[in-house]
Amino acid sequence: MMKDDETREIVIASYDPRWPQLYIGEALRLSSVLGEQVASIHHVGGTSVHGMCARPVIDILVEVRDFEGIERYHPPMRAYGYMPLAEASTKTVHVFFRENEEGIRTHKILLVREGDDDVRHLVLLRNFLAENPEEAKEYCALKEELARRYGDDPEKYEQGKADYIVRIQEKLDE
């Protein structure tokens, strides 16, 4: 598979009961790699919701205590097999990914400042979908439809999900 999201085909998989264990193992390793700078680690995204379909990539949100000089996390992450994804990173989120031997992306790490709003939004969305199976089913159907329509255009796929996510986040903020 190709290296960047702009050329990566969108594939939606049925829920895999191994996803939570893959997250736990990776969270333990990330804690070891990043050490005392880790404030908390969260499993987010579709793979974190039991029974929901998802892109088969384990999304992990890592809150770090010291976000200044974030580039210092790059060497230990690279040594552990993670590559920074500069085009997806912002001033508040640094994105890393890891691929398997076949070049298929298996993990995506979002490194954020402890207490960042992204943490609250992603965790609330995960919890909402886990507690509302009908909403999770609706979201899954949307993702499958978007993957069929925009399987070769990740930007359009993400834009298609955005309205749904904003609607849910507005519900949660009420």
Give domain limits for the chain. 5-173
Q: Edge-to-edge strands of the sheet including 58-64?
A: 38-44, 58-64, 105-113, 93-99, 83-84
Q: Can you give the pLDDT at residue 113?
A: 93
Q: Can you give the pLDDT at residue 107?
A: 97
Q: Which superfamily does CATH assign the domain made up of 5-173 to?
A: Beta Polymerase, domain 2 (3.30.460.10)
The DSSP-derived string for 9-23 is PP--B---TTHHHHH
E strands in 45-159: 58-64, 83-84, 93-99, 105-113
The verdict on pTM exceeding 0.95 is no
Q: Could you read off the pLDDT of 57-112 as tens digits, one per residue?
A: 999 999 999 888 888 899 999 999 999 988 777 888 899 999 999 999 999 999 99
Mean pLDDT of 139-150: 96
Q: Which residues contact 106 (CB under 8 A, 6 or more apart)?
A: 22, 56, 57, 58, 98, 99, 100
